[in-house]
Amino acid sequence: MANSAIIKDITFHVGDIVRVHYKILEGEKERTQIFEGLALSIRGRGDNRTFTVRKIASGNIGVERIFPLNSPWIVKLEVKKTGHVRRAKLYYVRDQSARQVSQIQK
């Protein structure tokens, strides 16, 4: 199980708050969208590695998105806050409240 990954010389770990700058095509236009949330898991091997990011959208609805690690659509990745966790997969966070999740970041 992977606890960390490297994208464009930036290392991030499971439990970190990350901002993924993702390139989106709308018709013929290109724009960059930012998806910020908690890195829940990193899985796979070699070129087939993916990572899952979960954020709380408006109305307290959790939104998860799975990104491939070597995607040409990822423009940049920023680590906003590092987390200290003891698990490789943080799937238990799905059942917790926002207050309990914020305690992970301490």
pLDDT per 10-residue tile (average), the chain, 106 residues: 84 94 93 94 92 89 92 94 90 78 63
- Predicted local distance difference test score (pLDDT) of residue 106: 58
Q: For the chain, how many residues are written?
A: 106
- Find out whether 84 and 15 touch, Cβ atoms under 8 Å: yes
Give the SS3 label for residue 16.
coil
Measured in whole angstroms, the distance separating CA 60 from the mean position of its chain's CA atoms is 18
- Predicted local distance difference test score (pLDDT) of residue 103: 65
Give the SS3 label for residue 89.
coil
Alpha-carbon torsion (67, 70, 73, 75), positive or negative: positive
Neighbours of 2 (CB within 10 A): 16
What domains lie within the chain, and their CATH numbers? Answer: 4-105 (2.30.30.790)
